[in-house]
Amino acid sequence: MNYGAKRAVTHLLRRHRRRQFPRFGLQRCSSTFDKREWSTPLAKTLAEAIKTTGPISIAAFMRQCLTSPQGGYYTTRNSGGTEVFGKKGDFITSPEITQVFGELVGVWTVAEWMAQGRRRSGVELIEMGPGRGTLMDDLLRTIRNFKSFASSIEAIYLVEASPALRDIQKRLLCGDAAPMEETEIGHKSVNRHIGVPVIWVEDIRLLPHNEDKTPFIFAHEFFDALPIHAFQSVAPSLESQQPREIMTPNGPTTLHQPRKHSNTPQWRELMVSLNPEAAVENKKDAPEFKLTLAKASTPSSLVIPEISERYKALKSLPGSTIEISPESRIYAAEFARRIGGGPSQVTTGTAAAPGSRAAPKVPVRRTPSGAALILDYGSASTIPVNSLRGIRQHAKVPPLSFPGQVDVSADVDFTALAEAAIEASEGVEVHGPVEQGDFLLSMGIAERTEQLLKSVKDEERRKNMESGWKRLVEKGGGGMGKIYKALAIIPENGGRRRPVGFGGSIVP
């Protein structure tokens, strides 16, 4: 993409972010709205929006709660000292529990690079939603020891929606003294470990697309933060099964043709609506928002559940509920295209209509290269159901409460990610998902921790390291070894080579 196009995309994305949710500050409000003390400023904005335009999708609600520039959880919570991660924050993630996690992701990357023939240049490290930057920092500390791999790295790209977290990542990865520049696509500084540029963008679509590069893409606890839609299959109504009567000049006439679509189950979207007890009666402790089933089909319910046979199969069973994250599928597809080739999602304004002769050609990579490692919690093969959750100060809370102050997330549908990746590029294959416990044990978490412990004298640190690695692999109790999974996207090789941690061994 040239600079003009990049500027246009940046501008469009910013406008899109602002527009996705109009501000309703000037809307005339009923007295209840004026009187009510909403749980958060964002709750009031959302309530006014719903009152004006009707119920909104869970996806729209999640997006606002997590990344709205006005009061979103990630976008505003880390400023002013309100922490998201760690003991004092709302939740703790694996890289924050033990440094060995990031180190092993580093070892995985080096092993994959070796197996792909040790390219001497053009390697890019790309991380989605790096949080405090801990995983990337531990990974780079490890990679620094593999000189020829380290010297093949050209740039580190971080896709981060939160300006506050971007600052925290910059301090860790580049140091306080390193200057931070604003660029056409985002921000830029230099890494303190390996001296290469670190480039921040707010959206994956802003990343440069160059088919000669070898991208290694990491997404740890990123997909669970992407918005979901939820749908329920409803039986055809009895009324719609009756023959229809219409009034004609000669009296009522019965229509014998069945109504289109009327006698098969239909998907209806679960929407976030206002709870009248809060919004109308102004009851103090009543929940402000609740989920209700849309009364009719919406554009989303007509289109989204039709994108995969997995969803279609459940439509005929009234009562089935499914959660779908179209955005997650877009990201997985983009990872696959960057590794295996295929068109970029971004078109630069002059793209011809599909099917016309001037339609842009699909860039096919000469040699697929790079890999993606996705680590998150969710289901291996089943479609997530009722998985929307809220976390605040390490406790579960209702996901629609305190918008912007609660971390809202949903289970990751790993099969959907695999499906999207394979459909997007013929140049990739997918391995996993495997359970995190198995992945980390086969990567050597026990041995690495034991080795580290030899030089640690401090008793408290020793205890944390010992309990930390166990927590990541244990499959029962509060362990993260089973519910968390790992999925890898690698260049297509006819299934002959498995990546390490997914049944493969290190290729020397």
**Nearest-angstrom CA–CA distance, 30 and 116:** 63
Determine which residue in the list 138, 160, 411, 438 makes contact with ligand SAH, applying CB under 6 A: 160
Closest CA to 148 of 191, 125, 114, 112: 114
Minimal distance, residue 130 CB to ligand SAH, in Å:
5
End-to-end CA distance of the chain: 37
Residue nearest to ligand SAH (CB): 129
Instruction: Enter the tokens of residue 170.
Output: 């910059």
Minimal distance, residue 102 CB to ligand SAH, in Å:
10
Cβ closest to ligand SAH, residue 75 vs residue 369: 75
**Nearest-angstrom CA–CA distance, 37 and 39:** 6
Say which amino acid occupies 30: S
Closest CA to 60 of 270, 303, 319, 296: 270
**Nearest-angstrom CA–CA distance, 42 and 73:** 10
Determine which residue in the list 43, 56, 65, 66 makes contact with ligand SAH, applying CB under 6 A: 66
Asked if 186 is part of the footprint of ligand SAH (rule: CB under 6 A), the reply reads no
Asked if 159 is part of the footprint of ligand SAH (rule: CB under 6 A), the reply reads yes
Minimal distance, residue 409 CB to ligand SAH, in Å:
9
Q: What is the secondary structure of 47-81 as a DSSP string?
A: HHHHHHH--EEHHHHHHHHHH-TTT-HHHHHTGGG
Minimal distance, residue 355 CB to ligand SAH, in Å:
31
Cβ closest to ligand SAH, residue 107 vs residue 226: 226
Cβ closest to ligand SAH, residue 48 vs residue 376: 376
Angle at 377 between CA 482 and CA 222, to 5 degrees: 150
Contact yes or no for 422/329 (Cβ under 8 A): no
Q: Which stretch binds ligand SAH (CB under 6 A): 28-36, 91-99, 138-146, 387-395?
A: 91-99
Cβ closest to ligand SAH, residue 393 vs residue 493: 393
Asked if 95 is part of the footprint of ligand SAH (rule: CB under 6 A), the reply reads yes
Cβ closest to ligand SAH, residue 143 vs residue 207: 207
Looking at residues 103 to 142 of the shown chain, list those that interact with ligand SAH (rule: CB under 6 A).
Answer: 129-131, 135
Closest CA to 452 of 134, 171, 138: 138
Asked if 206 is part of the footprint of ligand SAH (rule: CB under 6 A), the reply reads no
Contact yes or no for 432/485 (Cβ under 8 A): yes
CB-side exposure of 57: number of CA atoms within 13 Å?
A: 22
Q: Which stretch binds ligand SAH (CB under 6 A): 2-10, 54-62, 90-98, 348-356?
A: 90-98
- Give the C-alpha distances (Å, rounded to integers) separating 454 from 190, 427, 446, 447, 460: 33, 44, 13, 11, 14
Cβ closest to ligand SAH, residue 1 vs residue 135: 135
Cβ closest to ligand SAH, residue 114 vs residue 397: 397
Residues 6+ apart with CB under 8 A from 344: 209, 334, 337, 363
Minimal distance, residue 368 CB to ligand SAH, in Å:
25
Asked if 161 is part of the footprint of ligand SAH (rule: CB under 6 A), the reply reads yes
Looking at residues 223 to 242 of the shown chain, list those that interact with ligand SAH (rule: CB under 6 A).
Answer: 225
Determine which residue in the list 60, 65, 100, 165 makes contact with ligand SAH, applying CB under 6 A: 165
Determine which residue in the list 109, 162, 266, 320 makes contact with ligand SAH, applying CB under 6 A: 162
Minimal distance, residue 371 CB to ligand SAH, in Å:
17
Asked if 74 is part of the footprint of ligand SAH (rule: CB under 6 A), the reply reads yes
Cβ closest to ligand SAH, residue 94 vs residue 449: 94
Q: Which stretch binds ligand SAH (CB under 6 A): 103-111, 160-168, 173-181, 317-325?
A: 160-168
- Is 99 in a helix, a strand, or coil? helix
Determine which residue in the list 48, 103, 221, 288 makes contact with ligand SAH, applying CB under 6 A: 221
Cβ closest to ligand SAH, residue 220 vs residue 485: 220
Number of residues that bind ligand SAH (CB under 6 A): 20
Cβ closest to ligand SAH, residue 66 vs residue 274: 66
User: Where do we find the tokens 């505003």?
Assistant: 76
Cβ closest to ligand SAH, residue 225 vs residue 322: 225
Burial 391-406 (b: 16+ CB within 10 A, else e): bbeeeebebbbbbbbb
**Nearest-angstrom CA–CA distance, 479 and 298:** 40
**Nearest-angstrom CA–CA distance, 134 and 230:** 33
User: Where do we find the tokens 């959750």?
Assistant: 389
Burial of residue 40 (number of CB atoms within 10 Å: 0-12, 13-18, 19+): middle
Q: Which stretch binds ligand SAH (CB under 6 A): 192-200, 214-222, 279-287, 458-466?
A: 214-222
Asked if 93 is part of the footprint of ligand SAH (rule: CB under 6 A), the reply reads yes
- Is 459 in a helix, a strand, or coil? helix
- Where does this chain bind ligand SAH (CB under 6 A)? 66-67, 74, 85, 93, 95-96, 129-131, 135, 159-162, 165, 220-222, 225
